[in-house]
């Protein structure tokens, strides 16, 4: 009787926590890119995250001033390990252990790490691509050794260029030549029950194909059933692109994997259909939309990170559009209203 009471109490509490979690709808985070020479300090930035109720952050490297500012904040962190450090952590377990000790363990008492995302958009022809999976393995072992294996998942972020086929979504598959890298990544993630991180730029797909892709389809404002892919149909490009990746994973032994959208957004200047209004519509619709999952994975919230917190005026790489993805001006005023709940 007593045991049964305890069991049902636990179930009840469990349900309560699950519910309060989804009701809060706090799954959408923001990427903190820092290629600007006019940006507010890390402390001011983390204050702005709190003020705007942004509960998750993606960092591209473990900058200690940022990690210090995150102490005690309760903001969940996707922590990047930059490409330039892949070789070092792949080369020895003790270097990976030091990386985790110095950049994670030192902060773990009052910073909530969710992932270490090892490498960003590593391409097969990058000189360091051979180090990616060994680096993931060493960092994963270091995280376990530090006693953090049940709290922090290790993954890597890929972009849509890994797909050969992406249309219709059910036909999604990876390019043959990327499998030399994707296959061990998928095997690692399946083993570790870690999600794949995916930088998903609906904007670039739309802008590169605006003769065939409607702006409304890219902005989540088209009619249901705009694209038919029996037995499913698609109302928006975001779902179609994400399901193409789900299909590709199913074809490659990764059907059990979850996908976290580690970057998406809409720029306000510098390209086709770039303006404040379209960016406002995209990001607000995105926040409402991701609660519901995709046609292939309905009802399952998609963990998502908007790119980016600020415009980044130091970015030199053309096209110019790269500089204008920010939600906020350097003076911390919103460029347009985005509601994080
Ligand atoms: C902490 O991370 C940075 C960025 O990856 C790296 O350069 C540095 O070596 C790391 N610290 C240690 C002790 O490994």
| Complete domains list, the chain, with CATH | 23-323 (3.20.20.80)
DSSP SS3 for 246: helix
Q: What is d(CA 179, CA 55) in angstroms, rounded to the nearest whole number?
A: 34
Which residues, given as ranges, of the chain have pLDDT below 70? 1-26
**Which residue is closest in CA terms to ligand 1's atom 12?**
99
Q: Counting Cβ atoms within 10 Å, is residue 22 exposed (0-12), middle (13-18) or buried (19+)?
A: exposed
* Ligand 1 atom nearest 95 alpha carbon: 14
Token pair in block for residue 226:
């705009």
306: part of which helix (H) or strand (E)? strand 304-306
Q: What is the pLDDT of residue 318?
A: 76
pTM: 0.93
User: Could you tell which of 83, 91, 99, 100 is best to mutate to test the pocket of ligand 1, judged by most ligand atoms within 8 Å of the CB?
Assistant: 99
CB 57 within 8 A of CB 308: no
CB 37 within 8 A of CB 18: no
Tell me 39's DSSP state. Answer: P
Concatenated DSSP letters of 150-182: TT-EEEEEEEGGGEEE-SSGGG-EE-GGGHHHH
Q: What is the pLDDT of residue 319?
A: 79
Q: What is d(CA 43, CA 90) in angstroms, rounded to the nearest whole number?
A: 32
Q: What is the greatest pairwise CA distance in the chain?
A: 69
**Which residue is closest in CA terms to ligand 1's atom 8?**
99
User: Could you tell which of 63, 67, 68, 102 is best to mutate to test the pocket of ligand 1, judged by most ligand atoms within 8 Å of the CB?
Assistant: 102
Q: Is the CB of 98 under 6 A from ligand 1?
A: yes
Q: Is the CB of 102 under 6 A from ligand 1?
A: yes
């Amino acid at each position: 009787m007593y045991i049964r009471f305890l069991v049902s109490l636990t179930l009840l509490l469990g349900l309560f926590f699950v519910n309060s979690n989804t009701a809060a709808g706090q799954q959408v985070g923001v990427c903190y890119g820092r290629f600007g020479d006019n940006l507010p300090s890390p402390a001011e930035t983390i204050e702005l995250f709190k003020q705007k109720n942004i509960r998750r952050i993606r960092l591209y490297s473990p900058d200690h001033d940022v990690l210090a500012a995150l102490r005690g904040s309760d903001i969940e962190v996707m922590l990047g390990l930059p490409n330039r450090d892949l070789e070092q952590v792949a080369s020895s377990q003790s270097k990976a252990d030091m990386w985790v000790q110095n950049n994670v363990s030192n902060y773990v008492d009052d910073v909530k790490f969710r992932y270490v995302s090892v490498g960003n958009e590593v391409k097969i022809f990058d000189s360091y691509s051979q180090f990616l999976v060994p680096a993931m393995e060493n960092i994963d072992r270091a995280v376990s050794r530090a006693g953090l294996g049940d709290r922090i998942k290790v993954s890597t972020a890929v972009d849509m260029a890994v797909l050969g086929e992406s249309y219709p979504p059910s036909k999604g598959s990876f390019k043959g030549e990327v499998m030399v890298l994707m296959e061990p990544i998928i095997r690692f993630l399946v083993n570790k029950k870690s999600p794949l991180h995916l930088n998903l730029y609906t904007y670039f797909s739309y802008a590169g194909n605006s003769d065939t892709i409607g702006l409304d389809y890219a902005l989540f404002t088209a009619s249901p059933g705009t694209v038919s892919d029996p037995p499913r149909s698609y109302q928006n490009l975001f779902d179609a692109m994400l399901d193409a990746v789900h299909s590709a994973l199913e074809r490659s032994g990764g059907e059990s994997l979850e996908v976290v959208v580690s970057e998406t957004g809409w720029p306000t200047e510098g390209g086709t259909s770039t303006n404040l209004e379209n960016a406002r519509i995209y990001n607000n619709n995105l926040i409402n939309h991701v609660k519901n999952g995709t046609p292939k994975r309905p009802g399952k919230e998609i963990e998502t990170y908007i790119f980016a917190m600020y415009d980044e005026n130091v970015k030199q790489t053309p096209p110019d559009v790269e500089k204008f993805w920010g939600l906020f001006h350097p003076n911390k005023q919103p460029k347009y209203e985005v509601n994080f709940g």
